């Protein structure tokens, strides 16, 4: 292993070239420039991973590096975290072994902006467990299903966007359950807010969800005939709005085959699969339904009068009677799109449930779990709508969790070990979370009020309310105040939030009025169903999508709070999805907003390094004749003897209850070097 270490990363001279594998060991640690230099140096050498203590920083290489092979997995399996060059496998292995040795639950939070490599990282972790955990024939089954749930969920939940050819358009939290022997025995997926609007509308340069193109390109002739589809994406309005049905990096045909196989292994019945494809086809057909100025549309493949009526009429209750009144063409289009979105959204939920049934562990003995959180990254487009608002709010919440957990755990550790420390100042984004979610005062509350207010609520009254209530908030910019806080002006109908990760301008057009006006005016059961805004009993105060999302995020936070956190911070090196390009300004911005410098400072504020006595002794005992080859006393005494021999000064280290804490990385560096020479 030591040889591998040297080969891959390490002699003293190589350090200049390849940088340092843990930022905590950087000499000029507080300088962002030094941080960036180290990151760039390593990136140029194809070393995409670097630690900040146990946090893993990863820079998307946009090329295959050959570092995820079985051989690499073997190298990392069961090895101490810091003994080998940083790697996602090292983190996965460390989490796994901690889970087993402490019988505790964990989660790995993978964050970063769209295209930074979150989904790839989460897949690598899953693959590592699939290959490295003990297994039996029976469990192979579980393992395959765990692995194959990915291509299915990606086909239905990912799409090409301007930022990423395989962008996750839903948030995903996956629990992997392990038994006492450490074998993976089951799993469970939670999905968050699928971007349903994509089904009916794609911006230029973007696509609908992959599965539609896979079906049209890859579906067998017979299947297409049955579904009444032609093998040409250009024929379907829902597939071509972005004008890029073909993407060079994507092979829809072979992906179709993969998904087909996966569906069978996950044990979807033939009937399920047929129904699923029929639904996809019906959505495509629905997209092609036209509504002339006054003429009724027609619906291919769904020959139901009621549906046609529902799409083109609304019911008006006049005294005891119900009268049908035709929609305007505009309303009819709207109803059609709402239906398409609802069908797809519901199908996606059904799919996740099916996968969960298949991954469910039947045995009820206590399990430990490792949760993998791969949630859509912070995103800023030219036009940002309600969906971006939710996505970015979710990122705020996760950043908040990170802040709470890292600072909290750091403080607790010092306290537990009986060691004093000075807290480090940091930007707390709680103020932005509150701005969005605070009860009665936050943006979501105001949106709810406006959407549910009888009478003439519109996008503009919503914005006016916002302006009135948020006026003066340091992170909220309105049309009127735009010039004072930021240089960029705002159009009418827009507001801007200063997120922890940057400014985003949201358009309120269509967020509220159109959506909810139709819903409110219509007694059409399909439309009500689509927005499930009105409870069946009609009494409970209806929930808007934003409120539902807010509560599902609160649920997620609860799940995470009971587990031990691990972090992977993914960075995107350039906007062009190209290898070997490291855009300094762009990376620096991400380093800033992901709070990496602050995290580093916290790690360094008190003590850069801490190791359990027995681990420390085991690694360095060869440096002292008293402790080599065997030390008979307690590990703490052994470490005491060892550092006395090494000549540590009293302010360089502290002895905690179970661990040694080392203040300066230089100190550790020195023994690492001595160790290498020895
Ligand atoms: P989004 O928030 O849009 O879902 P993401 O962070 O999940 O983005 P990924 O889909 O994981 O981003 O990565 C985008 C692309 O970058 C991948 O399709 C792949 O081409 C490339 N990529 C990411 N990580 C790696 C890696 N470790 N090695 C090689 N290529 C990578
Ligand atoms: Mg992703």
Q: Which residue has the higher pLDDT, 27 or 249?
A: 249
pLDDT value at residue 259: 97
What are phi and psi for residue 583, nearest 5 degrees? -85, 110
For the chain, the first-to-last Cα distance in angstroms comes to 15
Sole residue written with tokens 């908030």: 473
Cα torsion 279, 260, 63, 209 to 10°: value is: 0
Which is nearest to 83 in space by CA: 618, 567, 601, 565?
Answer: 618
Burial class (CB in 10 A: 0-12, 13-18, 19+), 222: exposed
Q: Read off the pLDDT of residues 523-551 as tens digits, 9 standing for 90 and up.
A: 434 334 434 443 444 445 556 778 888 88
Write down the pLDDT at residue 245.
94
More confident residue, 489 or 357: 357
Q: Which residue is catalytic, options 58, 105, 111, 114?
A: 114
Is the pLDDT assigned to residue 493 strictly greater than 80?
no
Q: Which ligand is nearest to the CA of 46?
A: 1
**DSSP annotation string for 70-113:** HHHHHHHTT--GGGS---HHHHHHHHHHHHHHHT--EEEEEE-S
Q: Ligand 1 mean position to 192 CA, how many Å?
A: 19
Q: Identify which of 164, 376, 394 to mutate to test ligand 1's pocket (most ligand atoms within 8 A of the CB).
A: 164
Catalytic residue among 53, 115, 442, 606: 115
> Using one digit for the tens of pLDDT, what is the confidence trace for 155-180?
999 999 999 999 999 999 999 999 98
Please list, residue by residue across 330-352, b when 16 or more beta carbons sit within 10 angstroms of its beta carbon and e when fewer do.
ebbbbbbbbbbbbbbbebbeebb
CA of 118 to the centre of ligand 2 (A): 5
Residue 151: pLDDT band by 50, 70, 90 thresholds? very high
28 exposure class (CB count in 10 Å sphere: 0-12, 13-18, 19+): exposed
Reduce the DSSP state of residue 568 to 3 states and report it: strand
pLDDT score for 359: 93
Distance between CA atoms of residues 398 and 391, nearest Å: 11
CA–centroid distance, residue 374 to ligand 1 (Å): 11
Contact call for residues 238 and 209 (beta carbons, < 8 A): no
- pLDDT tens for residues 81-114? 777 899 999 999 999 998 998 889 999 999 999 9
Q: Is 167 among the catalytic positions?
A: yes
Strand runs labelled E in 414-513: 476-478, 494-499, 502-507
Tokens read off for 148: 């194959």
Mean pLDDT of 259-285: 91
Catalytic residue among 58, 105, 111, 119, which?
Answer: 119
Q: How far is the CA of 116 from the centre of ligand 2 (A)?
A: 8
* CA-based max dimension of the chain: 98
Atom in ligand 1 nearest the alpha carbon of residue 165? 18
Q: Which atom of ligand 1 is nearest to the CA of 249?
A: 20
CA atoms within 13 A of residue 291's CA, in its CB half-sphere? 20
Average pLDDT over residues 274-294: 80
Q: Is pLDDT at 11 greater than 80 in this prediction?
A: no
Which of 60, 111, 149, 167 is the catalytic position? Answer: 167
State the CB neighbour count (10 A cutoff) for residue 588. 16
547 labelled catalytic: no
Q: What ligand is nearest to the CA atom of residue 87?
A: 1
Whether this model's ipTM surpasses 0.90 comes out as: yes
* CB distance 573 to ligand 1 below 6 Å: no
Dihedral angle of Cα 218, 220, 225, 229, to the nearest 10 degrees? -10
**Structure confidence at residue 1 (pLDDT):** 46
Q: Which residue has the higher pLDDT, 72 or 12?
A: 72
Q: Which of 622, 624, 630 is nearest to 648 (CA)?
A: 624
Q: Which residue has the tokens 């196989």?
A: 261
Instruction: State how beta strands 55-59 and 564-571 pair.
Output: parallel
Q: How far is the CA of 229 from the centre of ligand 2 (A)?
A: 30
Residue 121: per-residue pLDDT: 98
Range name among 257-271, 287-301, 545-559, 648-662 with the lowest pLDDT average: 287-301
Q: Is the pTM of this model over 0.90?
A: no
pLDDT above 60 (res 144):
yes
Identify the active-site residue in 9, 113, 195, 379: 379
Q: Which of 60, 122, 168, 347 is catalytic?
A: 168
DSSP 642: H
Better pLDDT: 422 or 316: 422
* Cα–ligand 2 centroid distance for 113 (angstroms): 9
In degrees and rounded to multiples of 5, residue 279 shows phi and psi of: -65, -45
pLDDT value of position 522 = 40
Residue of minimum CA distance from atom 11 in ligand 1: 117
Report the pLDDT value the prediction gives residue 386, as an integer from 0 to 100.
82
**Range ranked top by mean pLDDT from 144-153, 296-305, 481-490, 606-615:** 144-153
- The reply to whether 379 belongs to the active site is yes
CA dist 90 → 79, 96, 612, 649 (Å): 8, 10, 18, 32
Residues 608, 45: Cα–Cα separation, whole Å: 26
Beta bridge partners of 59: 571
Q: Where is pLDDT greater, at 297 or 162?
A: 162
Q: Counting ligands in written order, which one lies closest to the CA of residue 110?
A: 1
Q: Decide if 119 is catalytic.
A: yes
Q: Note if 358 is an active site residue.
A: no
Q: Do β-strands 368-374 and 106-111 pair in parallel, antiparallel, or remain unpaired?
A: parallel
168 is catalytic: yes
- And the tokens for 286? 């629905």
Span 471-498, mean pLDDT? 74
* Ligand 1 in reach of 120 Cβ (< 6 A): yes
Cα–Cα distance, 369 to 184 (Å, whole number): 9
pLDDT, mean of residues 580-584:
98
Percentage of the chain modeled with pLDDT above 90 = 44
Report whether pLDDT(391) > 70: yes
Question: Could you tell which of 49, 117, 155, 381 is best to mutate to test the pocket of ligand 1, judged by most ligand atoms within 8 Å of the CB?
Answer: 117
With residue 47 as reference, give the H or E element that holds it. none
CA of 570 to the centre of ligand 1 (A): 9
CA gap 238, 340 in Å, rounded? 10
Residue identifier of the C-alpha nearest atom 18 of ligand 1: 166
Tell me which residue has tokens 């006016």: 464
- Is the previous residue joined to 486 through a cis bond, with omega within 30 degrees of 0? no
Residues composing the chain: 678
For the CA of 58, the nearest atom of ligand 1: 27
pLDDT of residue 59: 98
Between 74 and 415, the more confident residue is 74
What atom in ligand 1 is closest to the CA of residue 112?
6
Contacts with 242 (C-beta within 8 Å, 6 or more apart), sequence order: 160, 202, 203, 204, 205, 206, 207, 208
Q: What's the confidence (pLDDT) of residue 532?
A: 46
Give me Rg for the CA atoms of the chain: 28
Hey, which of 110, 166, 569 would you mutate to test ligand 1's pocket, going by the most ligand atoms within 8 Å of its Cβ? 166
Tokens of residue 517, six digits: 């006006």
Neighbours of 432 (CB within 10 A): 25
The reply to whether ligand 1 has any atom less than 6 angstroms from the CB of 62 is yes
Q: Which atom of ligand 1 is nearest to the CA of 122?
A: 11
pLDDT band at 490 (very low <50, low <70, confident <90, very high): confident
Is 356 considered catalytic here? no
Asked if residues 170 and 154 have their Cβ atoms less than 8 Å apart, the reply is: no
Q: Map residue 617 onto helix, strand or coil.
A: helix
Helix (H) or strand (E) segment spanning residue 245? none
Q: What pLDDT score was predicted for residue 523?
A: 45
The percentage of residues in the chain with a pLDDT greater than 70, rounded to a whole number, is 81
The phi, psi pair for 615, rounded to 5°, reads: -70, -45
Phi-psi region of 504 (alpha: psi -120 to 50; beta: other; left: phi over 0): beta
C-alpha distance from residue 574 to each of 48, 393, 578, 579, 584 (Å): 14, 24, 7, 9, 9
Residue 275 has pLDDT above 70, yes or no: yes
pLDDT at residue 449, as a whole number: 83
d(CA 417, CA 409): 12
What is the per-residue pLDDT for 448? 82
Distance 67 CA to ligand 2 centre (A): 20
Helix, coil or strand: residue 504: strand
Q: Is the CB of 377 under 6 A from ligand 1?
A: yes
Alpha carbon nearest to ligand 1 atom 14, residue: 115
d(CA 396, CA 386): 15
Written as six digits, the tokens of 454 are 């009888």
> What is the reported pLDDT for 39?
96
Report the range of poorest mean pLDDT among 356-360, 362-366, 619-623: 362-366
Is 182 one of the catalytic residues? no
Q: What residues contact 580, with CB distance under 8 A and at least 6 apart? A: 44, 63
């Amino acid at each position: 292993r030591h040889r591998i270490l040297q080969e891959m990363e390490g002699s003293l001279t190589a350090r200049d070239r390849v940088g340092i594998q843990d930022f905590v060991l950087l000499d000029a640690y507080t300088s962002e420039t030094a941080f960036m230099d180290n990151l760039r140096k390593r990136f140029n050498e194809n070393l995409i991973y670097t630690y900040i203590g146990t946090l893993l920083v990863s820079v998307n290489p946009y090329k295959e590096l050959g570092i995820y092979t079985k051989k690499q997995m073997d190298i990392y399996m069961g090895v101490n975290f810091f003994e080998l060059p940083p790697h996602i496998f090292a983190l996965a292995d460390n989490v796994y072994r901690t889970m087993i040795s402490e019988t505790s639950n964990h989660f790995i939070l993978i964050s970063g902006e769209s295209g930074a490599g979150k989904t790839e990282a989460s897949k690598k972790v899953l693959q590592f467990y699939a290959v490295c955990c003990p297994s039996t024939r029976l469990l192979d089954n579980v393992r395959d299903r765990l692995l194959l749930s990915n291509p299915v969920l990606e086909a239905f939940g990912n799409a090409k966007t301007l930022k990423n050819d395989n962008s996750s358009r839903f948030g995903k939290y996956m629990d992997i359950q392990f038994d006492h022997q450490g074998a993976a025995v089951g799993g469970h997926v939670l999905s968050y807010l699928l971007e349903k609007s994509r089904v009916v509308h794609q911006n230029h340069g973007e696509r609908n969800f992959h599965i539609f193109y896979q079906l049209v390109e890859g579906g067998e002739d017979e299947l297409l005939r049955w579904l009444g589809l032609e093998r040409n994406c250009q024929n379907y309005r829902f597939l071509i709005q972005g004008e890029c049905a073909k993407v060079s990096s994507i092979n829809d045909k072979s992906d179709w085959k993969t998904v087909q196989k996966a569906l069978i292994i996950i044990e979807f019945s033939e009937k399920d699969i047929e129904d699923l494809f029929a639904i996809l086809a019906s959505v495509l057909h629905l997209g092609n339904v036209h509504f002339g100025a006054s003429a009724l549309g027609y619906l291919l493949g769904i020959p139901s009068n009621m549906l046609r009526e529902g799409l083109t009429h609304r019911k008006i209750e006049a005294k005891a009677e119900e009268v049908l009144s035709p929609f305007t063409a505009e309303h009819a289009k709207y109803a059609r799109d709402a239906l398409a979105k609802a069908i797809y959204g519901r199908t996606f939920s059904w799919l996740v449930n099916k996968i969960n049934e298949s991954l469910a562990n039947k045995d009820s003995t206590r399990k430990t779990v490792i949760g993998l959180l791969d949630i859509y990254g912070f995103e800023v487009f030219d036009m940002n709508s309600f969906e971006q608002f939710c996505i970015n709010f979710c990122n705020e919440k996760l950043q908040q969790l990170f802040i709470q957990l890292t600072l909290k755990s750091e403080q607790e550790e010092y306290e537990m070990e009986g060691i004093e420390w000075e807290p480090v100042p940091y930007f707390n984004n709680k103020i932005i979370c509150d701005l969005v979610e605070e009860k009665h005062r936050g943006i979501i509350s105001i949106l709810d009020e406006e959407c549910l207010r009888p009478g003439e609520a519109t996008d503009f009254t919503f914005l006016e309310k916002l302006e009135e209530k948020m006026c003066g908030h340091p992170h909220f910019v309105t049309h009127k105040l735009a010039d004072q806080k930021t240089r960029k002006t705002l159009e009418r109908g827009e507001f801007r939030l200063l997120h922890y990760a940057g400014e985003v301008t949201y358009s309120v057009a269509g967020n509220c009025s159109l959506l909810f006006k139709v819903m409110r005016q219509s007694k059409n059961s399909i439309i009500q169903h689509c927005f499930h805004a009105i409870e069946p009993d009609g009494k409970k105060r209806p929930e808007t999508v934003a409120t539902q999302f807010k509560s599902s995020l609160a649920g997620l936070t609860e799940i995470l709070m009971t587990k031990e956190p691990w972090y992977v911070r993914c960075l995107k090196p350039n906007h062009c999805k190209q290898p070997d390009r490291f855009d300094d300004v762009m990376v620096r911005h991400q380093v800033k907003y992901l709070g990496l410098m602050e995290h580093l400072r916290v790690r360094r504020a008190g003590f850069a390094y801490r190791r359990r006595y027995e681990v420390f002794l085991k690694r360095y005992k060869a440096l002292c004749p008293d402790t080599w080859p065997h030390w008979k006393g307690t590990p703490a005494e052994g470490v005491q003897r060892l550092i006395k021999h090494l000549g540590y000064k009293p302010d360089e280290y502290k002895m905690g209850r179970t661990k040694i804490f080392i203040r300066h990385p230089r100190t550790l560096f020195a023994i690492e070097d001595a160790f290498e020479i020895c």
